Amino acid sequence: MSLKVGQKAPDFESYDQDGNPIKLSDFKGKKVVLYFYPKDNTPGCTAQACDLRDNYEGLQKAGYEVLGISSDSVKSHRKFIDKHELPFTLIADEDRSVHEKYGTWVEKQMYGRTYMGTARTTFIIDENGVIEEIIDKVKTKEHSKQIIK
């Protein structure tokens, strides 16, 4: 991973689940949990999103805005949010340009097959846009505990 704690988080522009433009710089002055995940409605990603949903109030009380990002479409994100009643924003990165900036589009292996995919990674970004923490060993069922210690 190319980004390190203490570096400025790269700004980006993409679209949320409703097709509205969204930029990281829109959240200047707020702490951000920017979590990259592989795919809407898959078991691990659903467990992670639901854990963040179930602990969203605590995350907000701690001052965090939660932003999920994957290479799924705006339409897929809207369905995922509706199905699981997710209270936070999901960002569509279909061209993977945000993944590229954050170093989360990586070569992976499964069953001896090599392919490109998302490295499940969370960036905790402070009010000034600086990376405070990088969580690359995400526990999907208890991710919020990894964020709020």
Residue range 13-141 forms a domain whose CATH class is alpha beta
Residue 91's H or E segment, with its range, is strand 89-92
3: which 2 tokens? 């980004």
> What is the rounded CA–CA span in Å between residue 121 and residue 135?
6
Query: pLDDT tens digits, residue range 12-39?
Result: 999 999 999 999 999 999 999 999 999 9
Contact yes or no for 67/88 (Cβ under 8 A): yes
The whole-angstrom distance between residue 36's C-alpha and the CA centroid of its chain comes to 3
Give catalytic residue positions.
45
pLDDT-above-70 percentage for the chain: 99
Enter the pTM of the model. Answer: 0.95
Q: Which residues pair with 123 in a beta bridge?
A: 34, 134
Reply yes or no on whether the pLDDT at 1 is more than 70. Answer: no
Question: What confidence score (pLDDT) does residue 2 get?
Answer: 81
- Residue tagged 């526990």 (tokens): 139
Domain ranges of the chain: 13-141
> Do 123 and 102 form a contact (C-beta atoms < 8 A)?
yes
